[in-house]
Amino acid sequence: MAFGDVNLSEEQVRGKYAGSPGGGGWPTIRAYNKQTGYEGVFAGDWKDANKLDGAMCDVFGKEENMQKYVEELGSTSLCKVSDGAGCSEKELEFIAKWKDKPKEEVAPQLARLEGMKGKSMKPELKAWLGQRIAVLKQLAKDEAPKDEL
């Protein structure tokens, strides 16, 4: 996921792919990925789907809301498998379940979850899907510790 900033007093960004900058509250946040295409999606829709009340600046000014939004729309996680930093309890349980499994078991599970990405699901399930994929990707590329010389 990438972030950009537009100062509408200097650049009047308009057009098919710009959405409605400033419309729906400030800040206007739009996310773009393969699923959304060039049109992107307005963060206010995500805020409403997650039943978060308040102005955009209040909702997305809370770090936990912004993190959930980025993780869900970016199909990623800020969880670091190697030391558990940034991981939720649910992610830590998932890591414990999968960390000692051979890569031959991790790869098919990763492929199965990747195949579910475009399917319709509740926001919280979509976020959990992205978190599991991110964990399994880390486990799939993780190498066994090497003995030092």
Q: Do 142 and 115 sit in the same domain of this protein?
A: yes
Contact 39, 18 (CB under 8 A): no
Read off the pLDDT band of 123 (50, 70, 90).
confident
pLDDT at 132: 94
Q: Do 54 and 85 sit in the same domain of this protein?
A: no
Q: Do 8 and 52 sit in the same domain of this protein?
A: yes
Query: What confidence tens digit (pLDDT) does each residue in 17-75 have?
Result: 676 666 666 677 888 877 788 778 888 888 998 899 998 889 999 988 988 888 888 77
Q: Do 148 and 87 sit in the same domain of this protein?
A: yes
Contact 59, 45 (CB under 8 A): no
Residue 38 burial (CB count, 10 A): 7
Residue 102 pLDDT greater than 60, yes or no: yes
**What are phi and psi for residue 115, nearest 5 degrees?**
-70, -20
Whether the bond between 108 and the residue before it is cis, its omega within 30 degrees of 0, is: no
Cα–chain center distance at 125: 12
Q: Do 104 and 142 sit in the same domain of this protein?
A: yes
Q: Do 70 and 97 sit in the same domain of this protein?
A: no
Q: Do 121 and 135 sit in the same domain of this protein?
A: yes
Residue at which a domain ends, from 29, 51, 74: 74
The encoded tokens of residue 71 equal: 């993780």
Contact 131, 124 (CB under 8 A): no
The model's pTM is: 0.65
Read off the pLDDT band of 115 (50, 70, 90).
very high
Q: Do 60 and 125 sit in the same domain of this protein?
A: no
- Domains of the chain: total: 2
The range of the structural domain enclosing residue 147 comes to: 80-149
Q: Do 44 and 91 sit in the same domain of this protein?
A: no
